[in-house]
A = this chain, B = another copy of it.
Amino acid sequence: MIRIGWMVVLFTGLLCAQLREEALAAGLKPIPKTQQALIDYVERPGNPITPQKIELGKMLYFDPRLSKSGIISCNTCHNLGLGGVDGIPAAIGHKWRANPQGLNSPTVFNAVFHIAQFHDGRSPHLADQASGPIQNPVEMAISREELEARIGSIPEYVARFEESFRGEKPAVTLENIAKAIEAFEATLVTPGRFDRFLHGDVRALSGAEKEGLEVFIRKDCTRCHNGMGIGGGSVERFPEVGQFPYAHIGSFKGDRDGRTRVPTLRNLTLTAPYFHNGSVWSIEEAVRIMAEAQLGVHISRQEVDQISTFLRALEGEIPRVVIPMLPTSTASTPRPDPLE
């Protein structure tokens, strides 16, 4: 009996090691183990990531003075306490305007692993992305001039920008605001049990989660959901039909070929409702729809459950963020007026 027991353990171990090989072969990648390795991976040539810039970016991320009204910050729609999202179908912005394209706020966690930002993938990186909502009339609605005047009137901010962007005059520009936010957001990654599994600790996932991973690979979900983001590496077409609740709605039509950026599947447990239009609240329903609409396969209820069990294991460790104390406005700071 003891001998049989050991054989089972050995056999299971081999199977697990094989599953890990399959996952890596399917393109799934773990988040690097150290912050330095992460930064080496995500840092862009145009925006070196320094501790000072990360801290400045964190302040800006939480500062509602980046909006015309003075009451909407990046964290309003990409709430770090709520999985990096707002938990509603479509974003609400300046003067309570709903997103006219009916678009759901994507999570900021692990967004750095996306090859392109926004649902239509029109933005090449997070710094470019960050400058969008700041100026968008239905989001934060501030002009470049007003924003630069406001932040540039606050001595502590000016000093921090001059430290993070040495030699640049002026240092407080919309581009540098966005770059600092990018540096902070690059740290918002959430390694978890699945990463430990991919790094070689095959016991980091439960038996049921490993079964789910196996189905996930076998059903070819990894065709789009791969890489370090487990999604985010491509833009894909999907059927423009009313039978699926995630069809394009409002004026959103995807990119010029009608494609939508594949999102990360990490922390799916925290980021409902799903799809670019926030139309689906259940992981199981989202899995069923994707299999049918994207892969053109029917999967059984059991398989839906198995895949969903695996997806729930993608919840990672959310970074611990201390609320930054924001520098105070001065007599020369243009005053926000939410009703203007």
> Using a CB–CB distance below 8 Å, which chain A residues touch chain B?
62-65, 69-71, 76-77, 79-83, 86-88, 92, 95-96, 98, 269-270, 272, 281-282, 318, 320-326, 328-329, 331, 335-339
* Distance A95 CA – B98 CA, assembled complex (angstroms): 10
User: A318 contacts which chain B residues (CB < 8 A)?
Assistant: 325
User: A323 contacts which chain B residues (CB < 8 A)?
Assistant: 80-81, 321-323
Shortest CB distance A99–B (Å): 11
User: A329 contacts which chain B residues (CB < 8 A)?
Assistant: 87, 272
Contact B71 A86 (CB under 8 A): yes
Q: Which of A71, A77, A281, A326 has the most CB of B within 10 A?
A: A71
- Closest B-chain residue to A320, C-beta based? B322
Out of B79, B98, B326, name the residue touching A64 (CB < 8 Å): B79
* Distance A318 CA – B96 CA, assembled complex (angstroms): 31
- Closest B-chain residue to A70, C-beta based? B88
Contact B325 A81 (CB under 8 A): yes
User: A335 contacts which chain B residues (CB < 8 A)?
Assistant: 281
- Closest B-chain residue to A284, C-beta based? B331
Out of B324, B337, B339, name the residue touching A81 (CB < 8 Å): B324
* Distance A323 CA – B84 CA, assembled complex (angstroms): 12
Contact B82 A326 (CB under 8 A): yes
Out of B87, B95, B331, name the residue touching A336 (CB < 8 Å): B87
Q: Which of A69, A82, A322, A337 has the most CB of B within 10 A?
A: A82
* Distance A269 CA – B320 CA, assembled complex (angstroms): 28
In the assembled complex, 15 residue pairs joining A and B whose CB atoms fall closer than 8 Å, in A order, are A65-B87, A69-B88, A70-B86, A70-B88, A71-B88, A76-B76, A80-B323, A87-B329, A87-B336, A88-B337, A96-B338, A98-B339, A270-B328, A320-B322, A321-B322
